[in-house]
Amino acid sequence: MLLTIDIGNTNITLGVFEGNSIIHSWRLSTEITRTEDEYGVFLKNLLRETDMDKKITNAIISSVVVQLTEKIEIALKKYLNITSFIISHKIKTNVTLKTDDKSQIGADRIANACAVSKLYKTPAIVVDFGTATTFDIVNNNNEFIGGIITAGMKIQAEALSSKTSKLPKLNIEAPKDAIGKNTIDAMLSGIVRGHAAMIDGLILDCEKELGEKATIIATGGYSAVICNYLKRKFDYINPDLTLIGAKILFDLNR
């Protein structure tokens, strides 16, 4: 069995694959200050609860948090005797990376591009709702040509509460109306509906540059919150897209 790990700035997502199917998955808070031993004990106990600790033979890591990549890699080797494979621009992929500087491409974006190339009709645009909201674009020549990076909804909410004297902290949830009748509803409308309007506009701009309509795939924690506010609906919502891409990359490189 294969353990796939996506280390993001806010969350760490794990998935266990048996064949091509995810049979278990977890989402943890990203904690940079944890030691490799703390992560090792935690992961071993987590996998033991589902009787997976002795069945996993390999792991692949997608990480955008440099400080944690080596910690998780060492933890897996020390506590589970698993050797990890790290996703980077240097490995074999099923898409051609066509950007100015391949070393700047996040591992999660490489995994997303590889997943959509195999699973969906291209050209395709992945909208990934994480700490940042990113667009990953694969054209109809099977080339990852880049995309867009913007502040995610959580960052927007935190910025409003931390940079103003009267606006409160809030949890991201669906706003009822465009016109908020109180501060919380007004903030939620601006963040969620504003994000949706931005996505609608950026998709149109990307399709204009691509010269044709694209398949739109959403992934990440907030995709279900925002989908009802889009004029251009997502063709697919796939919460496991990055983990699936990691599995594809592992199969290509083993």
Q: Could you give the strand order of the β-sheet that contains 143-151, starting from the edge strand earlier in sequence?
A: 96-97, 143-151, 132-138, 124-129, 215-220, 236-237
Give the span between the Cα atoms of 124 and 253, in whole angstroms: 24
Three-class secondary structure of residue 46 per DSSP: helix
- Nearest partner of 199 among 248, 138, 139, 150, judged by Cα: 150
Give the span between the Cα atoms of 187 and 157, in whole angstroms: 8
| Cβ-based neighbours of 76, under 8 Å, separated by 6 or more | 3, 40, 43, 59, 82, 83, 84
Provide the annotated active-site residues. 108
Give the span between the Cα atoms of 73 and 92, in whole angstroms: 20
Give the span between the Cα atoms of 119 and 59, in whole angstroms: 22
C-alpha distances (whole Å) from 53 to each of 18, 29, 38 are 14, 21, 16
- Nearest partner of 129 among 191, 66, 210, 74, judged by Cα: 191
Give the span between the Cα atoms of 223 and 134, in whole angstroms: 12
